[in-house]
Structure 1
Amino acid sequence: MTGYTRVVVIGGGFAGVMAANRLMQRDDVSVTVVNPRPDFVVRPRLHHLVAGSHEAVVDYREVLHERVQLVQDAVTVIDATERRVVLAEIGALGYDYLVYAVGSASAEPPVSGMAEFAYPMATIEAAQRLRSIIGESPAGAAVTVVGAGPTGIETAAELAGRGHRVSLVCGGTLGAYLHPRARRAAARSLARLGVTVLDGPGTEVTAVTRDAVRLRDDRVLPSAITVWAAGFGVPDLAVRSGLRTDSIGRLLTDETLTSIDDDRIVAAGDSTAPSGVPYRMSAYTAGCLGAHAADTLLRRMAGLRPEPASVFFNAMCVGLGPQAGIYQLAGRDDTAMRLFIGGRLGGRLKALTYKFGVGHLTNEARKPGSHRWLPNNKRGQLVQAQANRDPGVARQSA
């Protein structure tokens, strides 16, 4: 492909697929997406996979532009000096530009017995294993879900709505992001489903055994199946490749999503920390950042200065079983407002997010450059506030 600009996208999730599709606005760009799985994983639906109500995958032919090449493999290291990525199975790929969109996974906190006796669900392989375990368990077996963020809440609600006996261990506050009014509504919905919610001080898990969970306040909960939906981590590829990251391992970039180490590398999604201030996780945000990462590269290819990213994510949706949900409105400072939509209408709005999440990718594949989103005019204030708290990060990202 003489004369083509080669772009390698690491990661075939919402951010990576959106970036790959958007780059197809130019005919002189070749894009290769490297992903370890043959199908597109709809991560927001992994709790449905665990409960047996959805497979949580879509054929890549539905969401990728026809000119994008998909390579099923894993990247073991990024060689930025030579501009190539080394793959686990098929050698190496050279690039002119790189999109880093490796996504996220659950962290493994130092909790006794967690690795041996708890079941994570942050990947499709883990969710499939958990689905099998739950399917083989006796009716009425006690299921304990650890973690009260959206994943934990949705998993507990979905399992309880399908007849399982579920406890939700919050380790603190139920739905910490939600406004207190929405939090109370979520608690009522969970109670109607029969979920036992353990929140407040002392509810951190200190040990997991084969048939129980121990809390910091010394309570011991019977648990035939312990689902681990707490914590956050990212793959260590950037660290292993010598690129600067934040303390968790997210690639540090400037506000255009360009690596602070190499202007040939841009990043998007959960695995990036622009100015040390990462965006809140969501499939929608990942897609918007993927689109902006592509725009940054397209402007560089055209000899133009890239523009800062700006994404206004005005809501958080939390499913509460098959019939209900919370659609929490947010302000431009990314804090929850008093206004929310709950009940059946909240559930319908949550269901639409699954449709639109994949639909944004499909639309971009058909018409590259079509995705649009609202800017956040308070992003600069959030970055400055972080810089005031941690000047060292600000200097690194400058």
Structure 2
Amino acid sequence: MTTPEEHPNAHTTVVVVGGGYAGVVAANRLRVDPGVAVTLVNPRPAFVERIRLHQLLTGSDDARVDYAHVLSADVRLLVDTADRIDASTRTVALGSGATIGYDYLVYAVGSTGAADVPGVAAFARSVSDWESAQALRAALARIDPGAPVVVVGAGPTGIETAAELAEQGRAVTLVCGGVLGPYFAAPARRAVARRMRTLGVTVVEGPGTTAVEVRADAVRLADGRLLPSAITIWTAGFDVPDLAARSGLTTDAVGRLLTDETLTSVDSPFVVAAGDAATPSGQPLRMSCQAAMPLGAQAANTVLSRIAGTPPATVEQAFTGQCVSLGRRGAVVQLAHLDDRVMPVYLGGRAAAAVKELVCRGTIAFLAREARTPGSYVWLKGGKRANSLAAVESAPAR
């Protein structure tokens, strides 16, 4: 158990499980109240820039940032895994065998790659986490540059991975399982298709193109075609860790923690969720960094409000679209309404690539600023920039 001696000046202990975008924002923001002792539990000693993992494959970025740059010095980083949450005793059993107690817990475990098709677990590679991407990079280095690589899934991860590898001269086939870039409006989709042709990516789309089996040397499609593959990269869908379900907490069918509109678990007022693994009132937001960071801030606000004895605000999220890299010299920025409905408007080419790089760098800058100045992060809410620290500011002096 964590003892009071470890945080002698604290009146409240908060444990944040998960050190991704949502968890880091939440941990930093909780330091708005200097009497809150925050411990971040994460299995890795460095922050992973998940939105750059496709760059790790080709060596244009290592997709990691030192936590000292993005995490408040007042937040204790505990490099360990969370094996089970006991909401009744407010403790977390760790992989190391230790147990840590909490007054409040922020559940921000993120998401993982899905593997629900025959052969995926045995023969496919993933780019959904740093370790998998690093192993994939090593596997790519062992095959001939002209050997066929099949990327399954034509969402942002699949498109970015296919383009990144093709730009390096790899022979890439992208299996769409339907439509290339299903989020995109038609003009942006056409732009992506043109860029894929320029890079030499073979795009397999339309009816019957769902991958139904992965073999050691091929991918079988629903229409019976076999696509030769020296390496198959599976990016078709995401899953979430089963920590909440293993802990007896209520989840949705996918395994995301079920919360109310303040991101509070329906099972315990002392457990609050954020990011990909949260489902407010059974209506999860699109899994993305764009949603994770505002959700992390709002989860922290909920905890701070409860500590202050004020009603927490309901969650609000607005989207602006989606940025997708198409190699180092191209990208598409699909614009959207605040409710995430796409517009028939996009930015492409080198200008879009510059915007995408600016977004990636800006994300780290936001985290670093929140680490230095807790409460500074703002997000779009109802079309306006939001912060929502009024409840905290009205807290009685301690």
Is this a same-fold pair by TM over 0.5? yes
**Aligned residue among 236, 243, 248 for 1:242:** 248
Q: Does 1:45 align with 2:44?
A: no
Match of 1:114 among 110, 115, 120: 120
1:194 aligned to 2:186?
no
Query: Of 7, 16, 19, which aligns to 2:23?
Result: 16
Aligned to 2:218: 212
SS in 2 for 1:203: coil
Give the deviation of 1:90 after TM superposition: 4.2
Distance (whole Å) between structure 2 residues aligned to residue 52 and residue 20 of structure 1: 30
Matched with 1:184 is 190
Is residue 109 of structure 2 the alignment partner of residue 102 of structure 1? yes
1:309 and 1:110 map into 2 onto residues whose CA distance is 35
| 1:53-72 Cα distance to aligned partner (Å, 9 max, x none) | 21100000000001000001
Q: Deviations over 1:115-165 (max 9, x none)?
A: 221111211111000000101211201110000010000000000011111
Inter-partner Cα distance in structure 1 for 2:120 and 2:268: 38
Task: Tell me, in whole angstroms, the C-alpha distance in 2 between the residues paired with 1:189 and 1:115.
Answer: 31
Partner SS for 1:177: coil
Counterparts of 2:317 and 2:149 in 1: how far apart (Å)? 37
Using the alignment, how far apart are the partners of 2:153 and 2:173 within structure 1?
Answer: 11
Are 1:255 and 2:257 counterparts?
no
Match of 1:153 among 159, 163, 172: 159
- Show structure 1 runs of 4+ deviating over 6 A: none
Gap regions ≥5 residues in structure 1: 379-398
Separation of aligned partners in 1, 2:229 and 2:325: 23
Correspondence for 2:133 = 127
1:169-180 matches, within 5 Å, as 169-180=175-186
Which of 59, 80, 83 aligns to 2:87? It is 80
Q: Does the CA contact (< 8 Å) of 1:109 and 1:231 recur in 2?
A: no
Q: Is the 8 A contact 1:213 1:222 kept in 2?
A: yes
User: Could you say what secondary structure the match of 2:32 adopts?
Assistant: coil
**Can you list the C-alpha shifts for 1:277-296, whole angstroms capped at 9, x where unaligned?**
11112213111110110011
Q: Which stretch has the larger CA shift, 363-372 or 329-338?
A: 329-338
Mean CA deviation greater in 62-71 or 220-229: 220-229
Partner of 2:354: 348
Tell me which residue corresponds to 2:100.
Answer: 93
Alignment match, 1:290: 296
Is residue 2:149 matched to residue 1:143?
Answer: yes
> Is residue 2:322 matched to residue 1:316?
yes
**Mapping of residues 224-235 of structure 1, within 5 Å:** 224-235=230-241
Give the corresponding residue for 1:394. Answer: none
Distance in 1 (CA, whole Å) between partners of 2:183 and 2:382 is 19
Q: Deviations over 1:285-341 (max 9, x none)?
A: 111110110011111111100001111111211111111111111112211111111
Deviation string for 1:234-274 (max 9, x for gaps)?
00000011111110000011111111111111000000001
Identity %: 54
3-state DSSP class of the match of 2:16? strand
Match of 1:167 in 2: 173
Indicate conservation of the 8 Å contact 1:177/1:335, yes or no: no
Distance 1:40 1:306 in 2: 29
1:34 aligns with 2:41: yes
Map of 1:391 onto structure 2: none
- What secondary structure does 1:24 align onto? helix
1:60 pairs with 2:60: no
TM-score, normalisation: structure 2: 0.93
Looking at structure 1, the residues matched to 310 and 324 of structure 2 have their Cα atoms a distance apart, in angstroms, of 40
Aligned equivalents of 2:135, 2:211: Cα separation in 1: 22
For 2:208 and 2:309, the matched residues in 1 are separated by 56
Task: Give, as a single letter, the amino acid of the residue that structure 1 aligns with 2:175.
Answer: V
Is the partner of 1:9 in helix, strand or coil?
strand
Query: TM-score, structure 1 length as denominator?
Result: 0.93
The C-alpha deviation readout for 1:206-256, integer Å capped at 9, x for no partner, is: 222222111111111111111111121000000011111110000011111
| Contact 2:117-2:213 within 8 A present in 1 as well | no
AA of the residue aligned to 1:87: L
Offset, 1:103: 0.3
Q: Secondary structure at the match of 2:92?
A: strand
Deviation at 1:52, TM superposition (A): 2.1
| Residues in 2 aligned to 1:156 and 1:74: alpha-carbon distance in whole angstroms | 32
Give, as a single letter, the amino acid of the residue that structure 2 aligns with 1:26.
D
Q: Secondary structure at the match of 1:374?
A: strand
Whole-Å Cα distance in 1 between the matches of residues 382 and 216 of structure 2? 47
1:71 pairs with 74, 78, 93, which one? 78
* Aligned amino acid, residue 219 of structure 2: V
**Is this contact kept in 2: 1:284–1:357, CA < 8 A?**
no
Maintained 8 Å contact 1:139/1:164 = yes
Aligned to 2:341: 335
Q: Quote the residue 2:275 is aligned against.
A: 269
SS of match in other structure, 2:381: coil
Q: Secondary structure at the match of 1:132?
A: helix
